[in-house]
Chains A and B, each alone.
Chain A
Amino acid sequence: MSTQELTYLFVGLSFALYIGIAFWSRARSTTDFYVAGKGVNPVANGMATAADWMSAASFISMAGLIAFMGKDGSVYLMGWTGGYVLLALLLAPYLRKFGQFTVPDFIGTRYYSRTARLVAVLCLIFVSFTYVAGQMRGVGIVFSRFLEVDINQGVVIGMIIVFFYAVLGGMKGITYTQVAQYCVLIFAYLVPAIFISILMTGNPIPQLGFGDTLIDSPTYLLDKLDQVTQELGFSAYTENIKSNIDIFCITAALMFGTAGLPHVIVRFFTVPKVSDARKSAGYALVFIALLYTTAPAVGAFARVNFIDSVQDTKYVDAPSWFKNWEDIGLISWNDKNDDGIIRYEAGNAFSDGRPKFIDEHGKSGERMTANISDTSNQNEVYIDRDIMVLANPEIANLPGWVIALVAAGGLAAALSTAAGLLLVISAAISHDLMRKTFKPDITDKQELFYARLAAAFAIFIAGLFGIYPPGFVAQVVAFAFGLAAATIFPAIFLGIFSKTINKEGAISGMLAGLIFTFSYISYFKFINPSFNQEENWFFGISPEGIGFLGMILNFFTAIIVSRFYLPPPPEVKQMVETIRLP
């Protein structure tokens, strides 16, 4: 069978599996729909959490980012795993003990205030939609490259699948589908990594392989990478480029943001007992770590392979993957010196960003662009970092079924995260806005209907994001984590560990964190992007890391403001004592 047929087969089989599971475990009550009946085994919940968490960004983009960022890429590795320690130790067990359905539920109850609940809903919807947009782009890329359907059709197919199991199954359906999706995605990630590790270093464990020597020489792989990157004018792969304070703050913002992400927190509402919530966080991190410790190895392998197979090759002899990705528009070659040879080194191929292709071909047959050539350097290659993981098996010449597997894995990662996010959005609308705020007299059955309606609506919006992708998807990721860190995390943390923080304190804290973080990121990303340079940053902290300062501001504001108003009523103090009990 050809790679194409294999891909159809693998993707088709995995989709059939997801729908089958969703049908078998469909939701019958709101408890089923929101928290899977609170009966999920902690290991299964750990897997589901891992699939929920590992999105298209983790599966498709992260290793590519690391491949080009080198040691600076560590911010993602530490940031997106370290948050689970905070979650397990500081939030998950207490929220499970609290025993309601949603994150705004906790904030609204603990701070005895509708306003607090609404502020939480606002942050939640913003954070979750930001995220969904990224997933849909991932679905689009995989479909267009591997199944050769139009990106828009791909998004619609993805929407229908998610619609089926999210609307029908609710949290229960999603949880068991995610268990299956985890298995698909981790298998799809590890198989090519192991293959490539054996090919390059002879070591079958990628985590050790990228610290090993190359198979045909006594040089360590990382040493070679350092040497090659420096020769091409980049800084050494294993050294930082960003300043320490910026790396510190980005890592912290990602960690606290992770711990404050509603779709992750809500997973710990689904297990039967408090002790299970702790265990579940541990299992989740084991399953996540399996991919996250492999990713830096994949990144290093991909960078070496990419340079080896492209550098100083004639375009007409370039490998087929190079041209396939060029066809989709994610690679471009700008033959600056007109010699027909691909030259790759530090610097931009174009001085005006992404390639804008025109319907013409150059002398060697390459796709021409309307971009302005960047003459300050000799680099001729534009490459979108998102393609490294997907292209890796082709770059390393792996068999067709591995490539098909990676396509199915990428879809599993994107769909599982999209479903989890859509559920959080729908619960926020049907439960927090309808039931708890505007229409308190609806029955359980009506609420379930609204939840399904909200999920369907959210899928529709997410699909629109996929078909008309806002150009700012990559930029707004800083928003999602920054805002979660600056608003939701402190509110929950203080709600558990302090009995004196009152509603005035919590609301002003959340608003202070929200406004500060939002304005800082908007200023540098949208209002004045040319100003987005280290010398203009506050204390040298980039917009990606500012959520950490926003969080500190939230803490101070909440503590200080609380002193000027009445302490929380006795029943709230009682509630805090109860959630602290074993």
Chain B
Amino acid sequence: MEKSAFKAYWKANIKILISLLIIWFLASFGFGILWSDELDQIQIGGFKLGFWFAQQGSIYIFVVLIFLYVHLMDKLDQKYKKQISKELNRE
């Protein structure tokens, strides 16, 4: 078993990246562009929904995504930090 903690850490990291990037894609390219016209059929207040995603919603979601990432990575770092430094010392 060499560097198993490091491998697990990297795998978990990639998983976080992929799930967050899927949301990133949906919020902007999905709702703001590809399905924007369909969403425009729904109107909330003065905003057509597709238009709102393109000019407002996507940006709010981006901000939330980064802080979610910060939170998830801090947790992941905590979880693996000790194991990884142990592995490094063994080398």
Residues of A within 8 A of B (CB): 66, 71, 73-74, 77-78, 81-82, 84-86, 88-90, 93, 207, 210-213, 220-223, 238-240, 244, 247-248, 251-252, 255, 275, 278-279, 281-282, 285-286, 289, 292-293, 296, 577, 580-582
Contact = CB atoms under 8 A, between A and B. Distances in A.
Contacts of A223: 46
Contacts of A77: 54-55, 58-59
Given A248-B29, A581-B84, A582-B81, A90 B17 contact: yes
Contact of B66 (A207, A281, A581): A281
Interface in B48-86: 48, 51-52, 54-56, 58-60, 62-63, 65-67, 69-70, 73-74, 76-77, 80-81, 84
Nearest to A219: B46
B63 A286 contact: yes
B34 interface: yes
A289 B60 contact: yes
B43 to A, nearest CB: 9
Contact of A222 (B10, B36, B46): B46
A285 B62 contact: yes
A78 B58 contact: yes
A250 to B, nearest CB: 10
Contact of B32 (A74, A239, A275): A74
A197 to B, nearest CB: 13
Contacts of A73: 55
Nearest to B21: A89
B54 A577 contact: no
Which of B40, B55, B88 is the most central at the interface, judged by chain A CB atoms within 10 Å of its CB?
B55
Contact of B62 (A71, A211, A251, A289): A289
- Which secondary structure dominates where chain B touches chain A? helix
A41 to B, nearest CB: 15
Nearest to A66: B55
Interface in B1-40: 6, 9-10, 13, 17, 20-21, 24, 28-29, 32-34, 36-37, 40
Most chain A CB inside 10 Å of its own CB: which residue of B10, B28, B48, B67: B28
Contacts of B48: 222, 238
A580 B10 contact: yes
Given A66-B55, A220-B45, A240-B36, 6 more contacts: A71-B55, A77-B55, A89-B17, A211-B47, A275-B74, A581-B84
Contacts of B10: 580
Closest 4 CB pairs of A and B: A220-B46, A74-B54, A211-B46, A282-B66
A244 B33 CA distance: 7
A33 B13 CA distance: 33
A78 B54 contact: yes
A230 to B, nearest CB: 15
Given A285-B66, A296-B56, A251 B33 contact: yes
Contact of B84 (A82, A285, A582): A582
A582 B20 CA distance: 19
9 contacts: A66-B55, A71-B51, A74-B55, A77-B58, A78-B32, A93-B73, A223-B46, A296-B55, A582-B76
B34 A244 contact: yes
A581 B63 CA distance: 25
A23 B21 CA distance: 42
Given A211-B46, A221-B46, A285-B62, A248 B56 contact: no
Contacts of A247: 33
Nearest to B48: A238
Given A90-B17, A238-B40, A244-B34, A78 B59 contact: yes
B8 to A, nearest CB: 12
Nearest to A277: B70
Contacts of B59: 77-78, 81, 289, 292-293
Contact of B9 (A74, A84, A211, A582): A582
A89 B28 contact: no
B26 to A, nearest CB: 12
A485 to B, nearest CB: 15
B46 A210 contact: yes
B34 to A, nearest CB: 7
A293 B62 contact: no
Nearest to B45: A211
Given A289-B62, A293-B56, A88 B32 contact: no
A524 to B, nearest CB: 22
A221 B33 CA distance: 22
B70 A282 contact: yes
